[in-house]
Amino acid sequence: MIVVLGSINLDLGFAAPRLPAAGETVLCDAAAVSPGGKGANQALAAARDGAAVRMIGAVGRDAFAAPALSELRSGGVDISGIVEVERPTGLAAVMVDPAGQNQIMVASGANLAVTARQIETLALGPDATLVLQMEIPPAEVAKAIEFARTRGSRIVLNLAPAATLAEEVLARLDVLIANEIEIARLGTGRPMDIAHAVARRLGITVIVTLGGDGACMAAPASCWQIGCLPVEVVDTTGAGDAFVGVFAAALDRGASPESALHRASVAGALTCTRFGAQSGLPGAAEIDRALSRLAPAVRAD
Protein backbone atom coordinates (compact mmCIF):
# COMPACT_ATOMS: atom_id res chain seq x y z
CA MET A 1 0.00 0.00 0.00
CA ILE A 2 1.20 3.50 -0.88
CA VAL A 3 0.02 6.48 1.14
CA VAL A 4 0.64 9.91 -0.36
CA LEU A 5 0.41 12.92 1.94
CA GLY A 6 0.58 16.00 -0.21
CA SER A 7 -0.84 18.64 -2.47
CA ILE A 8 -3.87 18.71 -4.73
CA ASN A 9 -4.30 21.48 -7.31
CA LEU A 10 -6.31 22.44 -10.32
CA ASP A 11 -3.97 23.47 -13.15
CA LEU A 12 -4.62 26.14 -15.77
CA GLY A 13 -2.25 25.29 -18.59
CA PHE A 14 -1.08 27.60 -21.37
CA ALA A 15 0.70 26.35 -24.51
CA ALA A 16 2.76 29.50 -25.05
CA PRO A 17 4.91 30.46 -28.06
CA ARG A 18 7.59 31.37 -25.49
CA LEU A 19 7.86 31.79 -21.75
CA PRO A 20 7.32 35.42 -20.71
CA ALA A 21 10.11 37.60 -19.37
CA ALA A 22 9.56 39.80 -16.33
CA GLY A 23 6.94 42.42 -17.16
CA GLU A 24 6.06 40.82 -20.51
CA THR A 25 2.63 39.68 -21.69
CA VAL A 26 2.66 36.72 -24.09
CA LEU A 27 -0.47 35.69 -26.01
CA CYS A 28 -1.42 32.09 -26.80
CA ASP A 29 -4.36 30.48 -28.56
CA ALA A 30 -6.11 28.78 -25.62
CA ALA A 31 -5.79 27.35 -22.14
CA ALA A 32 -6.68 23.96 -20.67
CA VAL A 33 -7.95 23.17 -17.19
CA SER A 34 -6.73 19.91 -15.66
CA PRO A 35 -6.04 18.36 -12.25
CA GLY A 36 -2.55 18.58 -10.76
CA GLY A 37 -0.51 19.08 -7.59
CA LYS A 38 2.64 17.09 -6.85
CA GLY A 39 0.97 14.87 -4.30
CA ALA A 40 -1.98 14.04 -6.50
CA ASN A 41 0.23 13.55 -9.55
CA GLN A 42 2.46 11.10 -7.70
CA ALA A 43 -0.49 9.22 -6.27
CA LEU A 44 -2.05 8.81 -9.71
CA ALA A 45 1.28 7.80 -11.28
CA ALA A 46 1.67 5.02 -8.70
CA ALA A 47 -1.93 3.87 -9.18
CA ARG A 48 -1.58 3.77 -12.97
CA ASP A 49 1.46 1.55 -12.48
CA GLY A 50 -0.69 -0.89 -10.54
CA ALA A 51 -0.17 0.10 -6.90
CA ALA A 52 -2.92 0.36 -4.28
CA VAL A 53 -2.79 4.05 -3.36
CA ARG A 54 -4.43 6.24 -0.74
CA MET A 55 -4.24 10.03 -1.19
CA ILE A 56 -4.31 12.23 1.92
CA GLY A 57 -4.71 15.98 1.44
CA ALA A 58 -7.16 18.88 1.40
CA VAL A 59 -9.37 20.81 -1.03
CA GLY A 60 -11.65 23.79 -0.61
CA ARG A 61 -15.43 23.98 -0.48
CA ASP A 62 -15.51 25.46 -3.96
CA ALA A 63 -16.15 24.66 -7.60
CA PHE A 64 -12.50 23.76 -8.18
CA ALA A 65 -12.46 20.78 -5.80
CA ALA A 66 -14.39 18.28 -7.96
CA PRO A 67 -12.32 18.75 -11.13
CA ALA A 68 -9.11 18.70 -9.06
CA LEU A 69 -10.09 15.24 -7.77
CA SER A 70 -11.54 13.85 -10.99
CA GLU A 71 -8.51 11.88 -12.23
CA LEU A 72 -7.73 10.48 -8.78
CA ARG A 73 -11.29 9.23 -8.50
CA SER A 74 -11.39 7.68 -11.98
CA GLY A 75 -7.88 6.29 -11.56
CA GLY A 76 -8.84 4.15 -8.58
CA VAL A 77 -7.02 6.13 -5.90
CA ASP A 78 -8.64 5.99 -2.45
CA ILE A 79 -9.58 9.64 -1.74
CA SER A 80 -11.51 9.04 1.48
CA GLY A 81 -8.71 10.73 3.46
CA ILE A 82 -9.02 14.04 1.60
CA VAL A 83 -10.71 16.70 3.73
CA GLU A 84 -12.60 19.87 2.82
CA VAL A 85 -11.36 23.07 4.45
CA GLU A 86 -12.28 26.75 4.38
CA ARG A 87 -9.27 27.70 2.26
CA PRO A 88 -9.72 27.59 -1.55
CA THR A 89 -8.61 24.58 -3.55
CA GLY A 90 -4.99 24.91 -4.69
CA LEU A 91 -4.53 26.46 -8.13
CA ALA A 92 -1.56 26.49 -10.50
CA ALA A 93 -0.81 28.49 -13.63
CA VAL A 94 1.39 26.38 -15.92
CA MET A 95 3.02 27.94 -18.98
CA VAL A 96 4.69 25.57 -21.46
CA ASP A 97 6.84 26.61 -24.44
CA PRO A 98 7.23 24.70 -27.75
CA ALA A 99 10.29 22.86 -26.37
CA GLY A 100 8.21 21.55 -23.45
CA GLN A 101 9.87 23.72 -20.80
CA ASN A 102 7.61 25.33 -18.24
CA GLN A 103 7.10 28.07 -15.69
CA ILE A 104 4.69 27.37 -12.84
CA MET A 105 3.07 29.57 -10.20
CA VAL A 106 1.05 27.89 -7.45
CA ALA A 107 -1.53 29.40 -5.10
CA SER A 108 -1.30 26.83 -2.29
CA GLY A 109 -4.71 27.46 -0.71
CA ALA A 110 -6.07 24.33 0.95
CA ASN A 111 -2.69 22.59 0.71
CA LEU A 112 -1.50 24.82 3.57
CA ALA A 113 -4.15 23.19 5.78
CA VAL A 114 -2.78 19.64 5.29
CA THR A 115 -1.44 18.17 8.54
CA ALA A 116 0.45 15.08 9.62
CA ARG A 117 -2.46 14.25 11.93
CA GLN A 118 -4.37 13.10 8.84
CA ILE A 119 -2.20 9.97 8.62
CA GLU A 120 -2.13 9.17 12.34
CA THR A 121 -5.37 7.18 12.19
CA LEU A 122 -4.12 5.03 9.31
CA ALA A 123 -2.82 1.52 9.82
CA LEU A 124 0.69 2.39 8.68
CA GLY A 125 3.19 -0.38 9.17
CA PRO A 126 6.21 -2.06 7.57
CA ASP A 127 4.15 -2.99 4.52
CA ALA A 128 3.28 0.66 3.73
CA THR A 129 5.19 3.26 1.73
CA LEU A 130 4.65 6.91 2.65
CA VAL A 131 5.32 9.39 -0.18
CA LEU A 132 5.79 13.09 0.59
CA GLN A 133 6.68 16.32 -1.23
CA MET A 134 7.19 19.95 -0.20
CA GLU A 135 3.94 21.58 -1.40
CA ILE A 136 2.45 21.27 2.08
CA PRO A 137 3.93 22.98 5.19
CA PRO A 138 7.48 21.68 5.87
CA ALA A 139 6.73 21.30 9.58
CA GLU A 140 3.92 18.86 8.73
CA VAL A 141 6.22 16.93 6.38
CA ALA A 142 8.71 16.57 9.24
CA LYS A 143 5.99 15.38 11.64
CA ALA A 144 4.74 12.84 9.09
CA ILE A 145 8.27 11.47 8.66
CA GLU A 146 8.65 11.09 12.41
CA PHE A 147 5.30 9.31 12.69
CA ALA A 148 5.93 6.93 9.78
CA ARG A 149 9.36 6.03 11.17
CA THR A 150 7.79 4.96 14.48
CA ARG A 151 5.52 2.63 12.47
CA GLY A 152 8.37 1.12 10.45
CA SER A 153 7.01 2.29 7.10
CA ARG A 154 9.17 2.98 4.05
CA ILE A 155 9.44 6.76 3.54
CA VAL A 156 10.07 8.44 0.18
CA LEU A 157 10.46 12.23 0.10
CA ASN A 158 10.52 14.29 -3.09
CA LEU A 159 12.32 17.50 -2.05
CA ALA A 160 10.24 19.58 -4.45
CA PRO A 161 9.74 22.46 -4.64
CA ALA A 162 13.17 23.15 -3.14
CA ALA A 163 12.85 23.59 0.62
CA THR A 164 14.87 23.02 3.75
CA LEU A 165 14.42 20.23 6.28
CA ALA A 166 16.79 19.50 9.15
CA GLU A 167 19.30 16.74 8.47
CA GLU A 168 18.08 14.77 11.48
CA VAL A 169 14.69 14.62 9.73
CA LEU A 170 16.19 13.64 6.37
CA ALA A 171 18.15 10.87 8.10
CA ARG A 172 14.84 9.16 8.94
CA LEU A 173 14.00 8.73 5.25
CA ASP A 174 14.57 5.66 3.15
CA VAL A 175 14.72 7.52 -0.17
CA LEU A 176 15.25 11.20 -1.01
CA ILE A 177 14.48 12.28 -4.59
CA ALA A 178 15.48 15.70 -5.94
CA ASN A 179 16.38 17.43 -9.18
CA GLU A 180 19.64 19.29 -9.85
CA ILE A 181 18.38 22.54 -8.33
CA GLU A 182 16.93 20.89 -5.26
CA ILE A 183 19.95 18.69 -4.47
CA ALA A 184 22.20 21.78 -4.59
CA ARG A 185 20.62 22.84 -1.28
CA LEU A 186 22.40 19.91 0.34
CA GLY A 187 25.94 20.40 -0.98
CA THR A 188 28.23 21.63 -3.73
CA GLY A 189 29.72 19.90 -6.75
CA ARG A 190 28.34 17.48 -9.30
CA PRO A 191 24.88 16.05 -8.56
CA MET A 192 26.28 12.52 -8.18
CA ASP A 193 28.94 13.73 -5.77
CA ILE A 194 26.36 15.57 -3.65
CA ALA A 195 24.04 12.57 -3.72
CA HIS A 196 26.77 10.18 -2.62
CA ALA A 197 27.96 12.52 0.13
CA VAL A 198 24.41 12.91 1.48
CA ALA A 199 23.75 9.16 1.22
CA ARG A 200 26.88 8.34 3.25
CA ARG A 201 26.29 11.13 5.77
CA LEU A 202 22.65 10.25 6.44
CA GLY A 203 22.59 6.52 5.65
CA ILE A 204 19.81 6.82 3.06
CA THR A 205 19.32 6.39 -0.70
CA VAL A 206 19.48 9.63 -2.70
CA ILE A 207 18.27 10.01 -6.28
CA VAL A 208 18.85 13.03 -8.51
CA THR A 209 16.79 13.41 -11.69
CA LEU A 210 18.77 15.09 -14.46
CA GLY A 211 16.19 15.78 -17.18
CA GLY A 212 17.50 14.75 -20.57
CA ASP A 213 20.67 13.40 -18.95
CA GLY A 214 18.81 10.70 -17.05
CA ALA A 215 19.24 10.19 -13.32
CA CYS A 216 21.73 9.04 -10.72
CA MET A 217 21.22 7.13 -7.48
CA ALA A 218 23.52 6.87 -4.50
CA ALA A 219 23.37 4.61 -1.46
CA PRO A 220 25.98 4.69 1.29
CA ALA A 221 28.01 1.96 -0.41
CA SER A 222 27.07 2.20 -4.10
CA CYS A 223 26.19 4.56 -6.95
CA TRP A 224 24.12 4.00 -10.08
CA GLN A 225 23.50 5.95 -13.27
CA ILE A 226 20.84 5.67 -15.96
CA GLY A 227 20.25 7.50 -19.22
CA CYS A 228 17.08 9.03 -20.59
CA LEU A 229 14.57 7.31 -22.87
CA PRO A 230 14.65 9.26 -26.17
CA VAL A 231 11.23 10.82 -26.75
CA GLU A 232 9.73 13.81 -28.55
CA VAL A 233 9.14 16.27 -25.72
CA VAL A 234 5.76 18.03 -25.66
CA ASP A 235 5.47 19.07 -21.99
CA THR A 236 7.83 18.32 -19.09
CA THR A 237 5.14 19.13 -16.49
CA GLY A 238 4.59 16.10 -14.28
CA ALA A 239 7.66 14.16 -15.45
CA GLY A 240 9.31 14.32 -12.04
CA ASP A 241 6.05 13.31 -10.36
CA ALA A 242 5.70 10.32 -12.68
CA PHE A 243 9.25 9.31 -11.73
CA VAL A 244 8.51 9.52 -7.99
CA GLY A 245 5.17 7.73 -8.15
CA VAL A 246 6.39 4.88 -10.32
CA PHE A 247 9.61 4.50 -8.30
CA ALA A 248 7.53 4.15 -5.13
CA ALA A 249 5.15 1.71 -6.82
CA ALA A 250 8.04 -0.48 -7.96
CA LEU A 251 9.60 -0.53 -4.49
CA ASP A 252 6.19 -1.32 -3.00
CA ARG A 253 6.02 -4.40 -5.26
CA GLY A 254 9.43 -5.55 -4.01
CA ALA A 255 11.64 -4.36 -6.87
CA SER A 256 15.29 -3.54 -6.21
CA PRO A 257 16.18 0.17 -6.14
CA GLU A 258 18.08 -0.10 -9.42
CA SER A 259 15.13 -1.83 -11.13
CA ALA A 260 12.78 0.80 -9.72
CA LEU A 261 15.13 3.50 -11.06
CA HIS A 262 14.90 1.97 -14.55
CA ARG A 263 11.11 1.83 -14.50
CA ALA A 264 10.73 5.32 -13.04
CA SER A 265 13.06 6.81 -15.64
CA VAL A 266 10.98 5.35 -18.46
CA ALA A 267 7.76 6.64 -16.88
CA GLY A 268 9.16 10.16 -16.49
CA ALA A 269 10.20 10.31 -20.13
CA LEU A 270 6.86 8.97 -21.42
CA THR A 271 5.04 11.67 -19.46
CA CYS A 272 6.88 14.32 -21.48
CA THR A 273 5.23 13.13 -24.70
CA ARG A 274 1.79 14.50 -23.76
CA PHE A 275 0.41 17.80 -22.51
CA GLY A 276 -0.75 18.07 -18.90
CA ALA A 277 0.52 16.82 -15.54
CA GLN A 278 -1.97 13.99 -15.01
CA SER A 279 -3.24 13.38 -18.53
CA GLY A 280 0.34 12.57 -19.55
CA LEU A 281 0.98 9.91 -16.90
CA PRO A 282 1.57 6.47 -18.47
CA GLY A 283 0.00 3.21 -17.39
CA ALA A 284 1.83 0.01 -16.47
CA ALA A 285 1.42 -1.60 -19.90
CA GLU A 286 2.89 1.42 -21.70
CA ILE A 287 5.85 1.47 -19.31
CA ASP A 288 6.36 -2.28 -19.81
CA ARG A 289 6.49 -1.88 -23.58
CA ALA A 290 9.06 0.91 -23.39
CA LEU A 291 11.43 -0.63 -20.82
CA SER A 292 13.55 -2.36 -23.46
CA ARG A 293 14.21 1.00 -25.18
CA LEU A 294 16.26 2.25 -22.20
CA ALA A 295 19.33 0.44 -20.93
CA PRO A 296 19.11 -0.51 -17.25
CA ALA A 297 20.98 1.42 -14.58
CA VAL A 298 24.70 0.69 -14.28
CA ARG A 299 27.07 0.90 -11.31
CA ALA A 300 29.02 4.15 -11.22
CA ASP A 301 31.16 3.71 -8.11
User: 140 with 115: CB under 8 angstroms?
Assistant: yes
* DSSP designation for 21: P
Question: What's the CA gap between 106 and 108, in Å, rounded?
Answer: 6
Contact 208, 191 (CB under 8 A): yes
Helix (H, G, I), strand (E, B) or coil at 146: helix
Tell whether the torsion through CA atoms of 122, 174, 36 and 113 is positive or negative: positive
Name residue 105's beta-bridge partners.
Answer: 93
- 252 as an active site residue: the answer is no
Q: Where are the beta strands (DSSP E) in 16-137?
A: 31-36, 53-60, 78-85, 90-96, 102-107, 129-132
The whole-angstrom separation of Cα 147 and Cα 166 is: 16
Q: Is 31 exposed, middle or buried (0-12, 13-18, 19+ CB in 10 A)?
A: middle
* Active-site position among 62, 241, 252, 288: 241
| 8 A C-beta contact, residue 59 and residue 84 | yes
- How many whole angstroms separate alpha carbon 13 and alpha carbon 33? 6
List the catalytic residues. Answer: 241
